[in-house]
């Protein structure tokens, strides 16, 4: 730090050299009349006393912390990478949903075509069944007649067995 040379308070703004413009302020009432000629560094800098008992002020500087700047840059870089990753992941999710919707739409179109084909085939089958209905009715009637003929045949067989038994009985006599 640069040391400020002491000088009389009456010379405080005159001539070249460090003065209040460099951050040196006089203590006291601010009019150049200090109690003991003390000088303070504006911004809270420290005071030093030289060999003659006069206090001198050090140049006011902010404590430089290059680490803070580097840490801020690193934080913003990492935050940028993180947010970029989040946005990329979100975009990929939306692309996946879009693809899934397209595939689902195609599947539904295929299922619609299948349903239309099934409906058309069902109508065709119903028309064919309607055209075959008279024949099916005739088959039903024939089946009833066959069943009644079968019953008649069983009765006739039973009657013929009775007659045969009577005939054999009469022959034996």
Average pLDDT, 10 consecutive residues per value, the chain (173 residues): 48 44 43 45 54 70 71 93 96 97 97 97 96 94 96 95 90 81
> What is the per-residue pLDDT for 28?
44
> What is the per-residue pLDDT for 38?
44
**The pair of three-digit structure tokens given for residue 15, joined into one six-digit string:** 């001539």
> What is the per-residue pLDDT for 14?
44
What distance, in Å, lies between the first and last C-alpha atoms of the chain? 164
**Cβ-proximal residues to 60 (8 Å cutoff; 6+ apart), any chain:** 23, 41, 42, 43, 44, 45
pTM above threshold 0.85: no
> What is the per-residue pLDDT for 50?
65
């Amino acid at each position: 730090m640069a040391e400020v040379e002491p000088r009389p308070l009456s010379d405080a703004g005159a001539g070249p050299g460090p003065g209040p413009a460099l951050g040196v302020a006089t203590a006291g009432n601010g009019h150049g009349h200090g109690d003991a000629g003390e000088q303070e560094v504006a911004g809270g800098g420290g005071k030093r006393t030289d060999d003659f008992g006069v206090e001198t002020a050090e140049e006011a500087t902010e404590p430089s912390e290059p680490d803070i700047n580097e840490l801020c840059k690193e934080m913003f870089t990492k935050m940028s990478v993180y947010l970029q990753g989040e946005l990329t992941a979100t975009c990929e999710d939306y692309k996946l949903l879009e693809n899934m919707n397209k595939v689902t739409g195609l599947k539904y179109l295929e299922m619609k075509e299948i349903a239309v084909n099934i409906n058309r085939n069902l109508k065709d089958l119903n028309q064919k069944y309607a055209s075959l209905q008279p024949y099916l009715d005739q088959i039903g009637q024939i089946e009833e007649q066959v069943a009644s003929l079968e019953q008649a045949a069983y009765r006739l067989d039973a009657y013929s067995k009775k007659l045969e038994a009577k005939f054999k009985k009469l022959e034996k006599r």
